[in-house]
Amino acid sequence: MIGADRSVHGGVSAVVNNYYAEGLDEKVDLLYIGTMIDAGKFRKLLRAFTSYLRFLIVLPGMDILHVNMASDASFYRKRIFVNTASFFGKKILIHEHGGDFQNFYYKRNNEKGRAAIGKTMNKAQIFIVLSKSWADFFKPIVSEEKIVILENAVPVPPKPKTSYDDHNLLFLGRLCKEKGIEELFEAIPIVVKKYPDVKLYLGGVWEDNELKKKADKLREHVEYLGWIGQEQKELYMDKCSVFVLPTYFEGQPVSLLEAMAKGMAAISTEVGGIPQILRSGQEGVLISPKDSRALAESICNLLGDTDGKRQYGISARERVVKSYNISKSVKDLVSIYEDLVKDK
């Protein structure tokens, strides 16, 4: 299996780490090679080169190449591995995580580039997507019989959230414009008028210095946590009653599933695979992206409704237990591997 290094702060590494936590490496003979790290350009290039050399050494002894792929640089890096595995007749499984793949495919590539992308994708025997909406998107690009839906999944914390009477918000993820951070900062002053004690906790890594400056101006109501581990996540999920993710595009966010598994009420946007996991009015609230007014209104409505938050949280946890539990996801993935090997 290849993908972003397990130390990288991002969704793909979170998915892979969940697989390991659930014991995927005990169910199959798994070797993971991290092809990208959080570092400067030179160190990233060095990692890409050394990971490819390691890949060449171990490839003869492997049956399947499982490629965790996104868009842009991730696609171009992984294409080299896909082409090599295809040349040596290995079974290939591409696991597409990229929430921005639509823009990458249509807006950042011409007709020739799109044809090359499709050629690479179709070298896989199995093409995994995260939701039905993404399956529909890829059908004109990848042979339909290759497409398999395997939704993201997370471990369910043993202790659910119990308190919902606070006015605290939690965001976890990349701190950038595409995640809706700008709209979140525009919403906070509106919310403050109704709830002067509101507090937004941001867990993640800054990718936009201008947004960081805006956060500094809102420091009375916005607290930056940095990138936080699982234990800290659960502490802040207990401290905050509402999870916010006003993202512009998405595959299927692990952070949202984690918040739902804990039993948080959630506000997110109607993009990508989100509407399939968070049903508006059942586990939380869905709004349109880039709408700071709707975001502020939704936050105000939820903060003032303790019983509503509790019911959303209970329903959210039940939904993850039933449909997005990591143990079922790993079993399904192992079955896919077994079917691939049978076809040899």
Tell me the mean pLDDT in the region 171-190: 97
d(CA 78, CA 268): 30
Instruction: Give buried/exposed letters for 236-269 (b at 16+ CB in 10 A, else e).
Output: bbbebbbbbbbbbbbbbbbbbbbbbbbbbbbbbb
Residues 327, 335: Cα–Cα separation, whole Å: 13
CB atoms within 10 A of CB 191: 22
Q: Give the pTM.
A: 0.91
**Encoding tokens for residue 341?**
């090997």
**Closest C-alpha among 189, 184, 166, 187 to residue 174:** 184
55-88 pLDDT per residue, tens: 999 999 999 999 999 999 999 999 999 999 999 9
Mean pLDDT of 267-278: 95
Does the structure show a pLDDT above 90 at 343? no
Reply yes or no on whether the pLDDT at 48 is more than 90: yes
Residues of the chain with CATH 3.40.50.2000: 2-153+326-342, 168-323
DSSP state of 31: -
- In single-letter form, the type of residue at position 183 comes to E
* CATH 3.40.50.2000, domain 168-323, yes or no: yes
CA distances from 221 to 207, 257, 264, 265, 301 (A): 20, 25, 20, 20, 18
> Which CATH code fits 2-153+326-342?
3.40.50.2000
Torsion of CA 306, 310, 311, 315, to 10 degrees: 150
Residue 344's pLDDT band, with cuts at 50, 70 and 90, is: low
Written as six digits, the tokens of 62 are 């492997």
pLDDT class of 116 with cuts at 50, 70, 90:
very high
How buried is residue 67: exposed, middle or buried, by Cβ count under 10 Å (0-12/13-18/19+)? buried
